[in-house]
Structure 1
Amino acid sequence: MTRNRTRIPLLLLATLGGCVAAPSSQAPVPQVQTPRFDTHGLESVMGQNARHLERLLGEAELDVREGQARKLQFGSAVCVLDAYLYPQRSGAEPLVTYVDARLPDGRDMDRASCVAALTAARR
């Protein structure tokens, strides 16, 4: 009788072992995450449309469109600001989702400081 008791769990384990999925030959698709960055001091530009940016910073020196995406570039003697606008859903107006700032010589600059400098120059 003890012999039958040990056979049943072993048979169950053997049966359940066949239910384990075999490794897939396809590589898993990586999850792409939007990079996060500090937006403190960027409240006047983040999430805004192109018209708002031009009212705030003046006419863009460069306006590049690729598909539904858009890049506006604003500059002064102090800095250059690139604003990247993407629609949040298909057919929607593109809004600023990322900004990058640099000095006129190409070195990195604090984004919020550049926005403040461009805004002050506009006034």
Structure 2
Amino acid sequence: MRRIIIIAALLLAACTPDNVPPPATTTPAPVTPSTHVLTDVLGFTSGELIRRFGSPALQVREGTGLKMQWRGVACVLDAYLYPSTGNAERVTHVDTRLRSGAEASQAACIAALEAR
């Protein structure tokens, strides 16, 4: 019985190729944030936003800040403006979402609102 086990082990070892490379491990590429939003909306004043997207559907004063909202067929954009150097209110944060409330690409939402 011992011989059979040894022979089986040797046969199994012989069936395994020696030159098989180990399985490749893939590292996902790092996700880079969209620069469309960073260069095109952050830092804008309320006047610049209005010139770009038209009149906001909602404008709410929140403490020292201002929230402006645009609604399109594809998405909703919220821009948050706070006082900066020179006391001018500028966009410091942007949120975008689908009309259903699900997350939306900021770059795609901005492009859709610009196209209106």
TM-score range, shorter chain: 0.5 to 0.7
Alpha-carbon shift at residue 39 of structure 1 (Å): 5.0
Whole-angstrom CA distance in 2 between matches of 1:39 and 1:50: 22
Residue among 56, 63, 83 paired with 1:60: 56
Equivalent positions of 1:1-123 (< 5 A) are: 38-42=33-37, 43-89=39-85, 92-121=87-116
Letter in 1 for 2:56: A
Identity %: 42
Length, aligned pairs only: 84
Whole-angstrom CA distance in 1 between matches of 2:104 and 2:76: 9
Alpha-carbon shift at residue 112 of structure 1 (Å): 1.1
Alpha-carbon shift at residue 109 of structure 1 (Å): 0.2
Q: Structure 2 length normalisation: TM-score?
A: 0.67
**Structure ranking higher in strand proportion:** 2
**Structure ranking higher in helix proportion:** 2
Whole-angstrom CA distance in 1 between matches of 2:115 and 2:36: 14
CA RMSD of aligned residues (A): 1.6
SS in structure 2 opposite 1:41? helix
Q: Which digits, 9 at most, give the CA deviation of each residue in 1:5-41, with x for residues without a partner?
A: xxxxxxxxxxxxxxxxxxxxxxxxxxxxxxxx93511
- Return 5+ residue gaps in structure 1 as ranges: 1-36
